[in-house]
Amino acid sequence: MKRIISLLLVLAMVLAVSSISYAASARRGKRVFAKVCEACHVKGSDAGKLKPSSKTMSQWKRFVEKNRHDVDKKVLDEMSDKDRDNLLKFLQDYSLDAATVETCG
């Protein structure tokens, strides 16, 4: 009985840890945004400055998942699934209809 309980405990811990490491991270997404998107999207450029708060959560979801970056589809196509998930999390966390708005940067 004790053995089963400890086995279950270990299982629960493994599940907890793995769900943490698989969850999309806005912090990592912000890095993807800075590295990938802001290569072009800076003030005064042709692409123009881009902020997460320029779209709503569902607009970002559609934009990223359906790749609506028509000017250059490679940008989203060529990143890893993980980077894309994290990027979407960042964009949504600071989107127009999110609770938090990023004010600086």
**Binding residues vs ligand HEC (CB under 6 A):** 36-37, 39-41, 46-48, 50, 54, 63, 69, 71-72, 75-76, 87
For 89, residues 6+ apart whose C-beta sits below 8 A from its C-beta are 24, 25, 26, 29
C-beta separation of 34 from 42 below 8 A? no
* In the complex, minimum distance from the CB of residue 47 to ligand HEC, in angstroms, rounded to a whole number: 3
Give the Cα separation of 99 and 19 in Å (integer).
24
* In the complex, minimum distance from the CB of residue 22 to ligand HEC, in angstroms, rounded to a whole number: 21
Q: 3 vs 43, which CB is nearer to ligand HEC?
A: 43
Give the Cα separation of 56 and 96 in Å (integer).
5
* In the complex, minimum distance from the CB of residue 15 to ligand HEC, in angstroms, rounded to a whole number: 31
Give the Cα separation of 60 and 87 in Å (integer).
10
Q: 8 vs 97, which CB is nearer to ligand HEC?
A: 97
Q: 7 vs 78, which CB is nearer to ligand HEC?
A: 78
